[in-house]
Amino acid sequence: MKSNSLLLLFALLAIACEVRSQANLSVQGSIQNSSGAALADGKYSVAFRLYESEIGGVPVWSETHPELEVSGGLYSVTLGVITPLTAAFDKPYFLGVSVQNTPELLPRARLSSSPYALSLIGQDNVFPSAGAIGVGTKTPDPGSQIHLKTSNGSTTEVRIESSGNPEIIFKKGSNTAKITYDGNKINISDFNLVFSEGVNLPTGKTIIYDAIADWRLVDTDDFGTDNDGWVCHDQWSNTTPGTLQRFSPNTPFSKGYILRPGGNQDAGAALKKEFDLTGIPHSMVKVVFTYHMFDEWEAGDFAFAAFATQAAPYTGQGQSNGIFQLGWRKRAPQDQLKLSGVGYTYINPSPGVADKNIRGSMVAHTALDKFWIIVGSNLTNIPDNESFGLSNVEIWVK
């Protein structure tokens, strides 16, 4: 009973009931003759081939077992012991069987899910049976347990979906920590968060502690390369252009450069800049700065800084154009400025003269996007005698 006429029907009973190694696959099946009766007991030459299609195509792997024992129409065989199984098992395969050199029995049997213990498949991912798991890549980075990759430039997405609150739980020894999502907010519990590169917030976002939003820094001017948009007017109350000087304090305790009015404009001259916070939500603004008093100021001289809705002109106290809306003022008694020691530095352009540096700040409750900062003094002497400067300006909002 080994003629072609006996080998007309083929039924695959089980595929890959045991994966013996990455190159071996255990298969069980049955062979029947044209009348439906089981093939007579005996040893037969049986060829096995794997295809990527149910009909036609070229086999991706094949091997022949010359004396495969059939009992009651059933056989059991380990594929890959003669020719190593090199198929990737990353797509559906169909098994073709030919007995005693007869044409392949039809239909070909589609492999069940068991062989894919070697490599689980999806539309564009690969899960190997050992080592790192690659999603979208067959070569995950060494040391990675899960490597997700997209090749079309789209965003890689890891989705954890649950009808309850999805959780990610971290465990090391007896310690655990978790991230949960309640559908509205992400909660991180039992974490001691460490940010080696700081925290970068998108524009308009803030950090809230105990229901209170904290100050966030949105602009800095240290004049390291240019004037950072600051201008000089020869009087604080107008827009007549003045000149600016920018110089380095040349000390190990300074950052950036110092701006001051240049030429002979110090009598009433002011430094000004318009800031634009468009796109940065806020209800409060804080300006922090360093004010420099150069040379020997006299009793009654004072420094000032102010918020303003416009740079100028100023038409009188109480006018609606609102030059000074809120300000900072530091009166400078002579005895404070002539002392030497802590709090004083020796700064060019007046070598050997004790100069006072004051860190000032002012806060405004405002949601205005555009506003001016005006910094000046009431000095009347020329710059070689007394003058002022500005450095390290910071704008904070909340």
Task: Going residue by residue through the chain, which has 398 residues, state the pLDDT in tens, using 9 for 90 and above.
Answer: 344 334 434 444 434 334 444 467 888 888 877 777 888 899 999 999 999 999 999 999 999 999 999 998 899 999 989 998 877 777 788 999 999 988 888 888 887 655 554 454 554 555 555 667 777 777 777 766 777 777 666 667 777 888 888 888 888 888 888 899 888 888 887 777 787 877 777 766 777 777 777 888 999 999 989 999 999 998 888 888 888 988 887 766 677 889 988 866 666 789 999 999 998 889 999 999 999 887 777 777 888 999 988 887 766 555 444 556 668 888 765 444 433 333 334 333 443 344 677 889 999 999 999 999 999 988 876 555 678 889 999 999 98
Q: What gap in Å lies between CA 143 and CA 136, rounded to an integer? A: 17
Nearest to 250 by CA among 344, 347, 340: 347
Are residues 271 and 375 in contact, defined by beta-carbon separation less than 8 angstroms? yes
| Burial of residue 117 (number of CB atoms within 10 Å: 0-12, 13-18, 19+) | middle
pLDDT for residue 188: 84
SS3 at position 394: strand
Which domains, from first to last, does the chain contain?
A: 4-116 (2.60.40), 119-148 (no CATH), 160-193 (no CATH), 221-397 (2.60.120.260)
DSSP per-residue string spanning 106-126? SSPEEP-SGGGGSEEE-SS-E
- pTM across the whole model: 0.52
Residue type, 61: W
Residue type, 267: A
Q: What gap in Å lies between CA 74 and CA 28, rounded to an integer? A: 7
pLDDT for residue 336: 43
Q: What gap in Å lies between CA 261 and CA 87, rounded to an integer? A: 79
pLDDT for residue 131: 66
Q: Are strands 133-135 and 146-148 parallel, antiparallel or unpaired?
A: parallel
Q: What gap in Å lies between CA 9 and CA 6, rounded to an integer? A: 8
Which ranges of the chain does DSSP label H, i.e. alpha helix?
334-337
Q: Return the bridge partners of 69, or none.
A: 43
